Amino acid sequence: MSSKSHPRVFISHASEDKDRFVLEFAKRLRANGVDAWVDQWEINPGDSLIDKIFEQGISEADAFIIVLSANSIQKHWVREELNAASIKRIEKNTKVIPIIIDKDLEVPEVLKTTVWETIENVNNYDNSFKKILASIYGVYDKPDLGSKPVYAVERIEVKGLSIIDSAVFKALGDEVFKTNEEFVEQSILEKIANQFGISQEDMIDSLEILASEFLLEQTKIIGCQLPMIKLSSNGVLKYAEHFIANFPTIYHDIISLIMNGDLAYAQNYASKLKCNKVLASALIEYFDSQGFVMTHNTLSHGMGIFDVTASGKRFFRQYLENN
C-alpha cells in the first residue's frame, strides 16, 4: 500500500455499468478516503487515452479494481487494462480486487487465483463494500492479540517436558513445598489452570503426562473431573533439582548425617537441614529404591532409616570423597 494518506484505486469497467454500479460505488470509495480513479472524472477532451489510463491511472494506482459483468468481459479495453494491471502486480505488488456483479460469469484465467468479491444486488451491498474497503486499506478482520499466557512469559523449562507441562509441574511443586504436604487438592489444580489460562481438559492431559513420567500419582475422585494429586518422590527430587537452589547442599548433608550414624526419620533430617519434610522423605525413599538403606514407615513419624547397606556405604563414601 502506498504511503500516501489517500490510497489511489483504478476502477476498470464497461461503460454500460457506469450508471448501474460504478459511479455510485466510486463515490462511496471517495467518501471513505479512497482516491477512486474513473475515466469519466479523469479524462477530458484532447487527452491521450493511453497516457491517462496506463501512465496515470494504472501505473499510479495502489489497487486495481476490475468490475466483472456480462458487459465488461466482452470489452477489449477492459482486457487490455487487466493485462497491464497483472504485469504491474507482478512487478510492484499492486493489489488486484475483482468484483463480480452478474451471476454465472466465467472468471478470466488471469484472475482465477485471486480472491474476488461477488455482489448479488448492486443496490444493496454494504457488507461487500466493507470487505472491499478493508482490503484496499490492508485491514484484516481478526481478533486483537492478547497477552501471552503466564507459562509462556515465564518460560519455565524442565528437561523432557513441554513448556506447559513444565509450568504445571513447577506450580504443583511450589504448592507442595509451600504447604510441606505431598498432596495437592482439586481446588489448587483449578487455581493453577486459571492462573495459566488453560482449559480443564488441557490440565487433565498435562497431569496424565506428568504421571506417565512418574513425577506424580493421581487419585480419581468420583464425581470430580480433576483428581487428587500426590507428587511422587521422583517428582519431588526433580522439582528440587530444577528449582531449589541449595538442593546439592541438602543432598550432601543428609548423606553426611547418614554416614555419621545419624539414622532418623524424615522430619528429624528436615529439622536439622532446615529443609522441607517432603524433600527429606523423597531422599530417603530414593536411597531405599537404590538399595542403599533399609527403611521403616510409621503413621506417627513417617519414613525413617534404620540401617545402611554395604552398597549404600560404598556409594555414600565415594560421593563424599568426590564432593
Name 297's Cβ contacts closer than 8 Å, sequence gap at least 6. 303, 304
Inter-residue contact 229 to 204 (CB < 8 Å):
no
Q: What is the DSSP string of 265-300?
A: BHHHHHHHHT--HHHHHHHHHHHHHTTSEEEEEETT
Question: Positive or negative, the Cα torsion across 85, 86, 91, 96?
Answer: positive
Q: How many residues does the chain have?
A: 323
Inter-residue contact 38 to 23 (CB < 8 Å):
yes
Q: What is the pLDDT of residues 29-70, one digit of tens each?
A: 999 999 888 877 755 444 434 444 445 556 677 888 888 888
Question: Can you read off the three cell numbers belonging to residue 116?
Answer: 474476488
Inter-residue contact 197 to 149 (CB < 8 Å):
yes
Q: What is the pLDDT of residues 274-290, one digit of tens each?
A: 999 999 999 999 999 99
Q: Measure the CA–CA gap between 152 and 19, rounded to whole angstroms.
A: 56
Q: Measure the CA–CA gap between 304 and 285, rounded to whole angstroms.
A: 9
Q: Measure the CA–CA gap between 257 and 203, rounded to whole angstroms.
A: 40
Q: Measure the CA–CA gap between 251 and 280, rounded to whole angstroms.
A: 9
Residues facing 304 on adjacent strands: 265, 296
- Per-residue pLDDT, averaged over 157-169, amounts to 87
Quick one: pLDDT at residue 288? 94
> Within a 10 A sphere around the Cβ of 273, how many other Cβ atoms?
20
Q: Return the CATH fold of 150-236.
A: Arc Repressor Mutant, subunit A (1.10.10)
Q: What percent of the chain is predicted at pLDDT more than 70?
A: 83
Quick one: pLDDT at residue 282? 93
Q: What is the pLDDT of residues 242-298, one digit of tens each?
A: 999 999 999 999 999 999 999 999 999 999 999 999 999 999 999 999 999 999 988
Quick one: pLDDT at residue 44? 46
Question: Can you read off the three cell numbers belonging to residue 197?
Answer: 489460562
Quick one: pLDDT at residue 299? 78
* Residue 226 reports pLDDT greater than 80: no
Task: Kindly state the DSSP code that residue 73 receives in the 8-state scheme.
Answer: G
Quick one: pLDDT at residue 14? 81
Q: Measure the CA–CA gap between 319 and 312, rounded to whole angstroms.
A: 10
Q: What's the whole-number average pLDDT of the chain?
A: 82
- Per-residue pLDDT, averaged over 219-233, amounts to 80
Q: Where do the H-state alpha helices sit in 8-104?
A: 23-31, 39-42, 49-50, 76-92
* Residue 150 reports pLDDT greater than 80: no
Q: Measure the CA–CA gap between 285 and 312, rounded to whole angstroms.
A: 13
Do the domains spanning 150-236 and 245-322 agree at the CATH topology level?
A: yes
User: pTM higher than 0.85 for the full model?
Assistant: no
Quick one: pLDDT at residue 241? 93
316 pLDDT band, cuts 50/70/90, is very high
Q: What is the pLDDT of residues 71-112, one digit of tens each?
A: 877 777 666 666 665 555 544 667 888 888 888 777 766 666
Q: Where are the domains of the chain?
A: 8-137, 150-236, 245-322
Inter-residue contact 164 to 151 (CB < 8 Å):
yes
Quick one: pLDDT at residue 51? 46
Helices and strands (DSSP H and E) totals, the chain: 14, 10
Task: Kindly state the DSSP code that residue 232 receives in the 8-state scheme.
Answer: -
User: Residue 110: what are its φ and ψ, rounded to 5°?
Assistant: -65, -15
Question: Can you read off the three cell numbers belonging to residue 26?
Answer: 466510486
**CATH number 3.40.50.2300 given to 245-322:** no
pLDDT-wise least confident of 2-6, 75-79, 181-185, 203-207: 2-6
Q: Measure the CA–CA gap between 161 and 164, rounded to whole angstroms.
A: 8
Name 156's Cβ contacts closer than 8 Å, sequence gap at least 6. 163, 166, 167, 170
Quick one: pLDDT at residue 290? 94
- Identify the residue whose cell numbers are 526433580: 238
Quick one: pLDDT at residue 280? 94
Collapse the DSSP code of 86 into the 3-class scheme (helix H, G, I; strand E, B; otherwise coil) and give the result: helix
Closest by CA to 136, choosing from 35, 49, 210, is: 35
Give the CATH H-level superfamily of domain 8-137: Toll/interleukin-1 receptor homology (TIR) domain (3.40.50.10140)
Inter-residue contact 91 to 61 (CB < 8 Å):
no
